[in-house]
Amino acid sequence: MASGKEEYKANFVYTDEVLRDFEAMYLEKTAVSPVTRIVLGLIGLAGLGLFALLIVRKGATIGLLIPAVLFGLVLLLSVTMGRKNAGNSVQRYRRYYLNKKAHFTVDGNGVELKISGQKAFARSKFKEIYNLLETEKTFFLEIKGRAFYIVPKDSIDGGAESFKEYLQKKCMRRFVSYGFPS
């Protein structure tokens, strides 16, 4: 990195296994539970039914149409909330990273990721990392707008546990663990 003593580094290739691990974590993290969908659907249907009845009895007024539209939107959200957007996000990571070599470094100022063949690189200060996630094999450092640093644990010079403790201290956050069957 530009300044500061290098504390940790990792050199690796984004393999299919690493990206499958990311996809599983990301889809789990962004999933909307079936119970939430059902509750939203019932609220939307009940609201639409109530306002449809009121519109039929009292006539269409702006005071009745606005809430009816809002309940309709809640119903629409309950039906459409799903994994499509999450699936698109993980596919972008797969297209961009699959089989690319990466050099990841951490120093006293933050983290940096360079992908081979790319002129641009990603750099973030510790205060910009707002979520620390992990699976059995991989660390994920989440920054703005669903962007992640994806770092396989077995690639970290200095050891994964030491790296984890260091980041938790520097970012003032705890890692959230996701467990998936192998």
Instruction: Please report which confidence band the pLDDT of residue 80 belongs to, taking 50, 70 and 90 as the band edges.
Output: low
Q: What is the pLDDT, as a whole number, of residue 2?
A: 47
Most confident of the ranges 49-58, 74-83, 105-114:
105-114
Q: What is the rounded CA–CA span in Å between residue 172 and residue 54?
A: 53
Mean pLDDT calculated for residue range 139-165:
91
Report strand pairing: 175-177 vs 121-125: unpaired
CA-to-CA dists, residue 77 to 30, 74, 134, 170, angstroms? 15, 5, 29, 38
The answer to which of 33-37, 98-102, 125-129 has the lowest mean pLDDT is: 33-37
Each residue of 20-61: pLDDT tens digit? 999 888 877 776 666 776 777 777 777 777 777 777 787 777
Q: Is residue 100 over pLDDT 50?
A: yes
Q: What is the pLDDT, as a whole number, of residue 63?
A: 76
Residue 143 tokens read as: 């920054």
Lookup result for tokens 């459409």: 80
Q: Look up the pTM and report it.
A: 0.70
